[in-house]
């Protein structure tokens, strides 16, 4: 029997037509198509672990997964064969050998998410699957100022949706930026909200976005997100932004 080895794999996917990362009995998941394609090329039935379970409709520019395999195929060959057996909305970017104790979830140190909004009267047809469209222009400067209160180590219970309880609701947000990109012929005007933290609670990014949008709309003051954070009460925060505009940009690990 061949000895097993561990791989750290980086991939990208368009989440539009997936029910999310995790295997579901009645839906098409990223995990399912990856594991099925792997079995087609290696005849192995394995379980693949992702750094985080993205929800239905959420995209990934750079998701990281870990797996154990007995395949002796070299990594460039595996990548090429895997991609040839995957649907067009998933692609393997990289695969490297790692120590057998590497774990995509446990060893992740930082995650970077980006949320994209389009605040203009007309929906851009080329962006309709990838941004949250709002018909009126948001106050980007106010959103920027409001976001500052959420940077640092805090209890983010007010920004956690029910359904995935954690041992602690404390997280460290390293940075949170709101930036406007003016209109181009392909995208129209875009607002990006980027956040990096040592971890995220369930729907935390989407709830932060929904809260900042209320400030951008002028419905709440710049100081409101700070009071929401202090309340530790989800009912005090803004609505959950739709999944369509959320992207997992990067997952960072220790250099070793």
Catalytic residue IDs: 55
Contacts of 176 (CB under 8 A, 6+ apart): 147, 148, 150, 151, 193, 194, 195, 196, 208
Spatial contact of 140 and 150, defined as CB atoms under 8 Å apart: no
Compute the distance between CA of residue 226 and CA of residue 146 in angstroms, rounded to an integer.
8
Question: Which tokens hold the place of 167?
Answer: 């041992």
Residue 218 backbone zone (phi > 0: left; psi -120 to 50: alpha; other: beta) = left
Compute the distance between CA of residue 152 and CA of residue 133 in angstroms, rounded to an integer.
29
Compute the distance between CA of residue 196 and CA of residue 173 in angstroms, rounded to an integer.
6
Which helix (H) or strand (E) is 249 found in, with range? strand 246-253
Contacts of 6 (CB under 8 A, 6+ apart): 66, 67, 68, 69, 97, 98, 99, 100, 102
Compute the distance between CA of residue 132 and CA of residue 123 in angstroms, rounded to an integer.
9
Residues paired with 154 in a beta bridge: 171
């Amino acid at each position: 029997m061949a000895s097993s080895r561990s791989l750290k794999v980086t991939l990208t996917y368009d989440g539009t037509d997936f029910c999310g990362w995790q295997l579901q009995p009645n839906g098409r998941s990223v995990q399912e198509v990856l594991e099925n394609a792997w079995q087609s090329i290696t005849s192995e039935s394995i379980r693949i672990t992702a750094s985080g379970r993205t929800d239905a409709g959420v995209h990934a520019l750079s998701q990281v997964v870990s797996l154990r395999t007995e395949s002796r195929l070299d990594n460039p060959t595996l990548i090429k064969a895997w991609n040839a057996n995957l649907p067009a909305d998933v692609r393997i970017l990289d695969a490297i050998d790692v120590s057998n104790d590497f774990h995509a979830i446990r060893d992740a140190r930082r995650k970077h998410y980006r949320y994209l909004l389009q605040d203009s009267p007309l929906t851009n047809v080329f962006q309709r699957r990838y941004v949250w469209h709002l018909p009126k222009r948001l106050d980007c400067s106010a959103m920027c100022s409001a976001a500052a209160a959420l940077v640092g180590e805090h209890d983010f219970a007010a920004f956690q949706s029910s359904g995935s309880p954690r041992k602690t609701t404390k997280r460290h947000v390293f940075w949170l930026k709101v930036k406007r990109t003016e209109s181009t012929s392909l995208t129209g005007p875009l607002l990006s909200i980027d956040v990096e933290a040592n971890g995220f609670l369930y729907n935390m990014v989407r709830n932060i976005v929904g809260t900042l949008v209320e400030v951008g709309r002028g419905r709440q003051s710049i100081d409101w997100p700070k009071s929401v954070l202090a309340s530790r009460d989800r009912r005090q925060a803004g609505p959950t932004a739709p999944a369509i505009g959320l992207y997992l940009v990067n997952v960072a690990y220790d250099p070793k």
